[in-house]
Chain A
Amino acid sequence: MKKDNLEYLASVLEKADTGPVIEEKEWDYQYIGAKVKDLIKKYDISWEKDTYVPADDDLADRLYQAGWELALESGVYCRNTKKQMLWTQDELQEVIDSGPSELVVGTGDDEAVLRQRRPEQPSRVTILGGAYGTLIEEELFGAMVEAYAMEPLIDIVEPPSIPTAFGRTIRIQSPWEVMAARRESDLALAAITRAGRPGMCVGAAATSGSEIIELAATSYNAYRQTDWHHTSFISENKVSYADLTRAAHFYLTGSVAHTFCDPIYGGFLGGKEGVAIGCVAGPILLRATLLGDTVNAGPSHAHLSCDTHPDLLAAQALSFQAIARNTKLLKGIHIRPAHGPGTKEILYEVAAMALMGVSSGVDYLKSVQAACGVNMGHTSPVEARLCARVAHAAEALSREEANALVTQLVNKYQALIPTADTGIHFRDSYNLETLEPAPAWQKSYEEVIDELKEMDLKL
């Protein structure tokens, strides 16, 4: 992938070094908190409490204007330099327009294509499946990635993270990060090869660390430029030198770059309306700062962490519609349910998110950070499989139709979120020999599929 506007890249780094100096507290309270509050009022951002998939195009467009104004007037805060990074209207528009509207990832027979969609557009969404952001024991990592890669409906696989490399603790900013980078990529690439999909695009690198791990993993004998390389913001709209370094590395190596942010519901953005604005401004600024080929905002509930909370559904739906209607950014939905594998509720949450996202115009779905990704090994390919089936069924739905289904699903899980069952470990939900779901988990899946069919979803 040719990425050669190095003067722009240098100008972004320069903004981080030469912008106005701001204290972080001032950023949080003034440039985010007060600003977002004003924008909600100025653009009249509100919707009915029980609507989960709004179909108000004017509201979506006003939300885009609010997000744009936040991006333009507040910009990004660089934590290393305490500087505010600002773009002019023209700069911002130019960089947003320069993003791809279609993206080929992976290689050969295993290529996948991400294409721009709009709300209610009956075109195919791309499915990313994996245990991204969730730890798994090193010895089970390969089996888990293979199990996901064996799912035919998954186009791109996202590996879990490993807590150790060769049995040793991965010390941050140490050579162990390089060891972990190679360990993860070796295991992941071997797993997709065993699954018969050696050219499959892999989300890389999944194991957390400093920028070292990402840089080391994107190299010879490791992850390829055609894999899906991550860099992100810190909430809200903050960036670190480490993330700028990752972004520069992906740009210079011509690698596919995925960028994400996690606006916090109940944080400095405020409530659902503020999160909706954050979910628009974030992707705009991700493209401008980190030059992502794909963007996503995966909002997080301040206490529950999940993004399936009813208040967050419409906020995300509107933000997808806003971006889809006003840009060609390749945007996705990040699915982070409260429940874990083995429970029916996780499947309700995943289905609700898929219906909401696809009808609102997302181009791809990231499925699934089960049980909010905080319980080691609590994730399985079954929930990604369900996501894929529902997502493809939703390609034919209007927002109103999706809203009706989502309302039924939310009623099935919302009361249980605060005490969500985090489910069972991969070794209990799957047969590690056959890499097939355990009978009980398979049965739950089939029962939920039947329930969805009974709700008139064409699976």
Chain B
Amino acid sequence: MNDPKVQIDEFANILDKAENGPMLDINDWDQVYIYQTIKDLVQKYDLKIDIQDPGVPSDDDMADRVFQAAMDLAVQSGVYCTDTQRQMIFTREELEKVLARVPEEVQIGEGSETRVIKKRTVDQEGHVTIGGGFWGVVVPEDLLLPMTTAYAQIEENDFLCTGALRTTYGRPIRAFSPWDTLACWQEMRTTFEAVERAGRPGMTVSGPNTSASAIGTVTTVTHGCVRPSDYGSVAFMSELKVSYDDLIRACHYVQTNSFAHNFYNPIFGGYAGGAEGVAVAHVAGFILMKATLFGEAFNAGPSHAHMSTNTFPPLIPAQSLAHQALSRNTNITCANFTRPNAGPGEKDLLYEIAAYQLALVTSGVEIATGVQTATGRHEAHCSPLEVRFLIQMVRAAEKMTRAEADPIVKKLIGLYKDGQKENKIGKRFDEVYDLDSLEPTNEWQGVVDEVVDELEDLGLKI
């Protein structure tokens, strides 16, 4: 990026809000500023999502009302800084000014790996950028290089997110210690080695994922490691909370003028409430992250309170509606984040990915990311084949409308919803991939081929 992400005075002003805003008890924040406020806004704007037969909503007026509710939430509540226990308050004018200057396109990568990500909107044909990887799934050291290489070899994968290491140089990684530095460097050096091996040295990468503290980001976004053109990460905590650690990360991205994506995971069944509340929090989160963390791309991966997945049926229309609201009312570059319940080798994994991508791509997202397979909680339970499948779904969905996607999505949800209770975490990477050829086993490839046939039978043009 040539132009500064934000003028330093404006960023300092944000940090001032974290130190000088009104003090609030965290319980007040959760129960009054989030729960009660969202509940009131859902009622005020008459927001309703059909969770009995969830699919892809096509009600533009509803999407716009979600946006209005989210702006109200952003203005009325703002952000809560957990370190200072302060409420960071933004005026409507401040937020409108932030949104008004969001560009219609952003750029990542270097040289031949440069990708220009252009604004899309609902029901619009337009190229979706792919961020394929294993997005923080913990892996043993010996698998990090082959796994990352396998993901980098996927030709249509525009940028790569690696996993998190369980150990570094054979030692446990103690958070908030110097091990954070060593482990994150190992993760990123291995990632760069992987993209070299895949013949894509300029490929944009996202990381590090191994560190629990801001140290991981600050130590690796530097000379000889993560580049300003890579896909950095900094987040809110649920709901609409920010820590000093995240402000440190954001500040480092600002100071190094690095590309960053901001993410936030509203919790379904938590203080945001149900599907409608999650949709409002999702949109408000994007607006407030842009105002607080100054990212270039944004994703929300709402989380089911118990199952963690964001393909839980009511969350499909909730996320669709949120992205429609953002797409119709802002230029914010939106990414989805695929966090299915099932794991490699399972058909349900593929149904979840298909439903999710068909719903969200038709709802206007610019970037499709994933797959954090089996909710990312099981060591090495992920494989590049689901990313290849994701890409097929994205390409099919790019040509569809919400109305066309809706019936297929409903059928797919019907295929996987009961199985989500069974936690089908599937197999490890080294059980579904050949570690020499870095190709899927015949068995796993066969499962994917079968599902592709099923989808074609459902009318999907792949």
Majority DSSP secondary structure for residues of A touching B? helix
A171 within 8 A of B: yes
Query: A6 to chain B: which residues have CB within 8 Å?
Result: 169, 182, 186
CA distance A61 to B12 in the complex (A): 55
Of the listed stretches A49-57, A241-249, A369-377, A379-387, chain B binds A241-249
CA distance A247 to B182 in the complex (A): 10
Of the listed stretches A9-17, A96-104, A113-121, A150-158, chain B binds A9-17
B244 within 8 A of A: yes
Can you name 23 A-B pairs with beta carbons within 8 Å?
A: A6-B169, A9-B182, A10-B170, A13-B178, A14-B171, A17-B174, A173-B244, A174-B83, A179-B8, A181-B255, A182-B8, A211-B215, A215-B181, A215-B215, A218-B223, A219-B218, A222-B256, A248-B219, A249-B181, A249-B222, A252-B219, A252-B225, A253-B223
Q: A80-B177, A216-B252 are in contact. Are A178 and B218 (CB under 8 A)?
A: yes
Is there contact, CB below 8 Å, between B255 and A222? Answer: yes
> Residue-by-residue, is A283-321 near B (CB-CB < 8 Å gives 1, otherwise 0)?
000000000000000000000000000000000000000
Is there contact, CB below 8 Å, between B248 and A220? Answer: no
Instruction: Select A168's contact among B12, B185, B252, beta carbons within 8 Å.
Output: B12
CA distance A175 to B171 in the complex (A): 30
Shortest CB distance B21–A (Å) = 15
Is there contact, CB below 8 Å, between B182 and A176? Answer: no
Shortest CB distance B364–A (Å) = 32
Q: A175-B244, A215-B219 are in contact. Are A245 and B178 (CB under 8 A)?
A: yes
Is there contact, CB below 8 Å, between A253 and B222? Answer: yes
Is there contact, CB below 8 Å, between B255 and A182? Answer: yes
Shortest CB distance A190–B (Å) = 14
CA distance A218 to B223 in the complex (A): 8
Is there contact, CB below 8 Å, between B255 and A178? Answer: yes
Shortest CB distance B247–A (Å) = 4
Is there contact, CB below 8 Å, between B215 and A220? Answer: no
CA distance A304 to B186 in the complex (A): 45
Is there contact, CB below 8 Å, between B176 and A241? Answer: yes
Q: A13-B179, A220-B228, A220-B257 are in contact. Are A178 and B169 (CB under 8 A)?
A: no
B250 within 8 A of A: yes
B40 within 8 A of A: no
Is there contact, CB below 8 Å, between A166 and B255? Answer: no
Is there contact, CB below 8 Å, between A221 and B255? Answer: yes
Is there contact, CB below 8 Å, between B252 and A241? Answer: no
Give B172's nearest chain A residue, CB to CB. Answer: A17
Is there contact, CB below 8 Å, between A175 and B251? Answer: yes
Most buried by A among B171, B181, B186: B181
Is there contact, CB below 8 Å, between B9 and A166? Answer: yes
Is there contact, CB below 8 Å, between A175 and B169? Answer: no
Shortest CB distance A359–B (Å) = 38
Binding site for B on A (CB under 8 A): 6-7, 9-10, 13-14, 16-17, 80, 166, 168, 171, 173-179, 181-182, 211-212, 215-216, 218-222, 224-225, 241, 244-245, 247-249, 252-255
Give B221's nearest chain A residue, CB to CB. Answer: A219
CA distance A17 to B171 in the complex (A): 10
Instruction: Select A241's contact among B11, B19, B177, B256, beta carbons within 8 Å.
Output: B177
Query: Given contacts A166-B8, A215-B222, A220-B221, could you give 11 more A-B pairs where the C-beta distance is less than 8 Å?
Result: A174-B244, A176-B15, A179-B251, A212-B248, A215-B218, A216-B252, A219-B218, A219-B252, A222-B255, A222-B256, A255-B223
Query: A182 to chain B: which residues have CB within 8 Å?
Result: 8, 255
Query: B215 to chain A: which residues have CB within 8 Å?
Result: 211-212, 215, 245
What 9 A-B pairs are tightest by C-beta distance, nearest first? A10-B169, A244-B178, A178-B251, A175-B247, A219-B222, A220-B256, A248-B181, A175-B251, A182-B255
CA distance A252 to B8 in the complex (A): 29
Query: A9 to chain B: which residues have CB within 8 Å?
Result: 182
Is there contact, CB below 8 Å, between A219 and B177? Answer: no
Instruction: Select B214's contact among A168, A181, A212, A222, beta carbons within 8 Å.
Output: A212
Is there contact, CB below 8 Å, between A219 and B178? Answer: no
Is there contact, CB below 8 Å, between B185 and A252? Answer: yes
Query: B177 to chain A: which residues have CB within 8 Å?
Result: 13, 17, 80, 241, 244-245
Query: A171 to chain B: which residues have CB within 8 Å?
Result: 19
> Residue-by-residue, is B179-191 near A (CB-CB < 8 Å gives 1, otherwise 0)?
1111001100000
Shortest CB distance B442–A (Å) = 38
Q: A13-B178, A248-B181 are in contact. Are A216 and B244 (CB under 8 A)?
A: no
Q: A175-B15, A221-B257 are in contact. Are A254 and B223 (CB under 8 A)?
A: yes
Query: B219 to chain A: which residues have CB within 8 Å?
Result: 215, 245, 248-249, 252
Query: B83 to chain A: which residues have CB within 8 Å?
Result: 174
CA distance A219 to B232 in the complex (A): 15
Query: A211 to chain B: which residues have CB within 8 Å?
Result: 215
Instruction: Select B182's contact among A13, A166, A215, beta carbons within 8 Å.
Output: A13
Query: B179 to chain A: which residues have CB within 8 Å?
Result: 13
Please report which residues of chain B, range 168-216, place their CB below 8 angstroms from some CB of chain A when the two chains form the complex. 168-171, 174, 176-182, 185-186, 214-215
Shortest CB distance A145–B (Å) = 19
Query: A255 to chain B: which residues have CB within 8 Å?
Result: 223
Query: A173 to chain B: which residues have CB within 8 Å?
Result: 244
CA distance A9 to B189 in the complex (A): 16
Is there contact, CB below 8 Å, between B248 and A178? Answer: yes
Shortest CB distance B8–A (Å) = 7
CA distance A179 to B252 in the complex (A): 8
CA distance A171 to B214 in the complex (A): 16
CA distance A37 to B238 in the complex (A): 57
Give A183's nearest chain B residue, CB to CB. Answer: B8
| Total A-B contacts with CB atoms under 8 angstroms apart | 129
CA distance A436 to B214 in the complex (A): 43
CA distance A9 to B181 in the complex (A): 11
> Residue-by-residue, is B250-266 near A (CB-CB < 8 Å gives 1, otherwise 0)?
11100111100000000
Shortest CB distance B226–A (Å) = 10
B60 within 8 A of A: no
CA distance A144 to B269 in the complex (A): 58
B449 within 8 A of A: no
Query: B174 to chain A: which residues have CB within 8 Å?
Result: 17
CA distance A175 to B178 in the complex (A): 19
Is there contact, CB below 8 Å, between A174 and B247? Answer: yes
Shortest CB distance B234–A (Å) = 11
Shortest CB distance B133–A (Å) = 23
B111 within 8 A of A: no
Query: B223 to chain A: which residues have CB within 8 Å?
Result: 218-220, 224-225, 253-255
Query: A175 to chain B: which residues have CB within 8 Å?
Result: 15, 18, 244, 247-248, 250-251
Shortest CB distance A327–B (Å) = 25
Shortest CB distance A88–B (Å) = 19
Shortest CB distance B173–A (Å) = 10
CA distance A148 to B83 in the complex (A): 39
Is there contact, CB below 8 Å, between A245 and B244? Answer: no
Give A215's nearest chain B residue, CB to CB. Answer: B218
CA distance A210 to B185 in the complex (A): 20
Give A173's nearest chain B residue, CB to CB. Answer: B244
Query: A244 to chain B: which residues have CB within 8 Å?
Result: 177-178
Is there contact, CB below 8 Å, between A253 and B224? Answer: yes
B16 within 8 A of A: yes
Query: B224 to chain A: which residues have CB within 8 Å?
Result: 225, 252-254
Shortest CB distance A431–B (Å) = 30
Query: A224 to chain B: which residues have CB within 8 Å?
Result: 223
Shortest CB distance B181–A (Å) = 4
Shortest CB distance A341–B (Å) = 32
CA distance A263 to B83 in the complex (A): 36
Shortest CB distance A230–B (Å) = 16
Shortest CB distance A176–B (Å) = 7
CA distance A179 to B15 in the complex (A): 10
Give A222's nearest chain B residue, CB to CB. Answer: B255
Give A221's nearest chain B residue, CB to CB. Answer: B256
CA distance A9 to B215 in the complex (A): 17
Is there contact, CB below 8 Å, between A216 and B218? Answer: yes
CA distance A212 to B244 in the complex (A): 12
Is there contact, CB below 8 Å, between B171 and A220? Answer: no
Give B8's nearest chain A residue, CB to CB. Answer: A166
Instruction: Select A253's contact among B178, B186, B225, B251, beta carbons within 8 Å.
Output: B225
